[in-house]
Structure 1
Amino acid sequence: MDSYSTVFHLWEDRHKDCKLTDIMEVRFIELPKFRRAKPDLGKPLDRWLVFIEDSPEEVLEMAMREEPAIARAEEVLQYLGSFDEIRRYYEAREMAVHDEITRITGAREEGLREGIEKGIEKGIQKGMEKGTFQMKAGIVRNMRSIGVKDEEISRLTGLTVEEVESII
């Protein structure tokens, strides 16, 4: 959906024209979509979202002129912001949110670093196994060229007779 606001009502399942109530609705607002849209201050919802989103002062003033309740809400926020205890609570909450983001980011970076290290170790291990096999293959060819039987080559190299035969 392109709209930043969706509204749902409660309907009877079999009779879609029968709404349970006109009093209740569920409204979802996607703020990232609203931020990309140009607010229409003619709409009450857009005026309130301008207030919630901490918009530029001139936009907020226009919204408050159109919607006196927004001006009252701004006064209440200013009043509450004057209390040191409330401000400290707000700042502590903001700090906790930032700490959590930092913790998650650090954990992701640590996990990525650990994954890279294990991947490198595994790659080196596979490379060594491959190198060991290549070295044994060279030994198998040399032993065969001087007439050593496959069973004896198998016993000396630790390869199966089938592996010895596949190398040759």
Structure 2
Amino acid sequence: MKYQIIIDDEVKEQAARAVAEGRILNLKNDIVFKSFFSKECKESAYCRRKMLSAVIGQKVEETKVLNPELLPTRTDGKFPRLDIHCKLADGSEVDVELQNSMYKDDQIKRSIYYAATLTHNALSSGEPYSQLPHIYQIMFMDFQKIEDKKLHHAYTFKEREDNTELSDIMQIHYIELPKINEILKKLADGAKELSEVEFWSILIKMGGNPQTQSLLQKLTAMQEEMDMAQALLNKMSRNQQEWENQFGYERFVHDCISREKYAFNNGLAEGEARGRAAGLAEGEARGKREMAFETARRFLQMGLPVEQIAQGVGLSAEEIKRLS
């Protein structure tokens, strides 16, 4: 089955209304997320460096997006890659993804596979292993996978018993966006300190929600990079094409889920119907067989020969002998 993102007249009208109403794009939308952090402009480059520095835990001076070609170009009729693949100044490679709850069950294996693929592709044939760069797989997840209150988890290779680190050459980072609720409670209680990872998580989770604009304005005063991030998001939100991409992708996701649900329900209904038919057939066959045994018993009581009874009721001679 082929899925496509289609930007039609209805989507364009929705986008035009959103721009006219001064609405803010949703950073939790995969396409908006990639566009925000992948643009070749100073605001996007700044936000990308600051976000990566916060997650990785070291200052990122320069980033080169290796797959920028899909956005902000049109998405009509093709499925875009929505990860952000970057190379840093020291040669390290980073893959940033925004994951929704449909990937919750296989998220850990998924991220390990992605990181392993990046590692495998980081060296060309013949290059020495000493040239292997650091690989960072970063997952902003709009669901909770780890049962604690910690927002950001980072994993490397470590010894199982004493926890000594073997290597940090490959790192997997999980940022679970629903956990910002605990952070918001602290802000409501008067806390003024936010880590940079907390700041970016709040922006991604709530940046497109009109009910949180006052909170985001307060955070702008607390975090220097928030001003640049808000300026970029506001600028993008005045661009009709950005809205067309958001609405087109939202409809695409809805269509995918609807088709999968339709196929599942049809398969379930078909299976139930097949089961009912099989059950009825089995029940009918069992009833006929029980009736044959009862008739055979009566014939035996009448003294008829076994072979004659078997021929008359459709049972084997051995079955009738067991009855006798």
Q: Distance in 2 between matches of 1:17 and 1:114?
A: 53
Q: Distance in 1 between matches of 2:276 and 2:242?
A: 51
Q: Distance in 1 between matches of 2:230 and 2:322?
A: 82
The alpha-carbon deviation at position 120 of structure 1 amounts to 0.7
Q: Which amino acid aligns with 2:259?
A: R
> Which residue of structure 1 aligns with residue 257 of structure 2?
101
| Structure 1 segment 6-155 matched on structure 2, within 5 A | 6-9=153-156, 16=164, 19=167, 25-32=171-178, 34=179, 37-39=181-183, 42-54=194-206, 56-155=212-311
- Residues 64 and 165 (structure 1), Cα distance of their counterparts in 2 relative to 1, 3 Å cut: farther
Q: Distance in 1 between matches of 2:283 and 2:269?
A: 21
Q: Greater Rg, structure 1 or structure 2? A: 1
Q: Distance in 1 between matches of 2:323 and 2:305?
A: 14
- Residues 60 and 93 (structure 1), Cα distance of their counterparts in 2 relative to 1, 3 Å cut: same
Kindly indicate whether the alpha-carbon contact (under 8 Å) linking 1:50 and 1:63 is maintained by their aligned counterparts in 2. no
- How far does the alpha carbon of each residue in 1:99-134 deviate from its partner, in whole angstroms, 9 at most, with x for none? 101111111111111111111111111110111111
| Structure 1 segment 152-167 matched on structure 2, within 5 A | 152-167=308-323
> Which residue of structure 2 aligns with residue 5 of structure 1?
152
- How far does the alpha carbon of each residue in 1:10-51 deviate from its partner, in whole angstroms, 9 at most, with x for none? 679xxx456556xx843112334x26x412552322221111
- Residues 142 and 19 (structure 1), Cα distance of their counterparts in 2 relative to 1, 3 Å cut: closer
Q: Distance in 1 between matches of 2:245 and 2:317?
A: 75
The alpha-carbon deviation at position 5 of structure 1 amounts to 2.3
The alpha-carbon deviation at position 97 of structure 1 amounts to 0.7
Q: Distance in 1 between matches of 2:306 and 2:202?
A: 83
TM-score (norm. length: structure 2): 0.45
Secondary structure at the counterpart of residue 203 of structure 2: helix
Q: Which amino acid aligns with 1:8?
A: Y
| Cα root mean square deviation, aligned | 2.7
Q: Which amino acid aligns with 1:47?
A: F
Kindly indicate whether the alpha-carbon contact (under 8 Å) linking 1:50 and 1:59 is maintained by their aligned counterparts in 2. no
The alpha-carbon deviation at position 9 of structure 1 amounts to 3.7
Kindly indicate whether the alpha-carbon contact (under 8 Å) linking 1:136 and 1:157 is maintained by their aligned counterparts in 2. yes
Q: Distance in 2 between matches of 1:19 and 1:138?
A: 77
| Percentage identity across paired residues of the two chains | 23
Structure (1/2) with the larger strand percentage: 2
Kindly indicate whether the alpha-carbon contact (under 8 Å) linking 1:51 and 1:63 is maintained by their aligned counterparts in 2. no
- Structure 1 unaligned spans of 5+: none
The alpha-carbon deviation at position 165 of structure 1 amounts to 3.2
Q: Distance in 1 between matches of 2:298 and 2:165?
A: 88
- Structure of higher RCO (CA pairs closer than 8 Å, 6+ residues apart): 2
Structure (1/2) with the larger helix percentage: 1
Q: How many residue pairs align between the two structures?
A: 163
- Residues 81 and 57 (structure 1), Cα distance of their counterparts in 2 relative to 1, 3 Å cut: closer
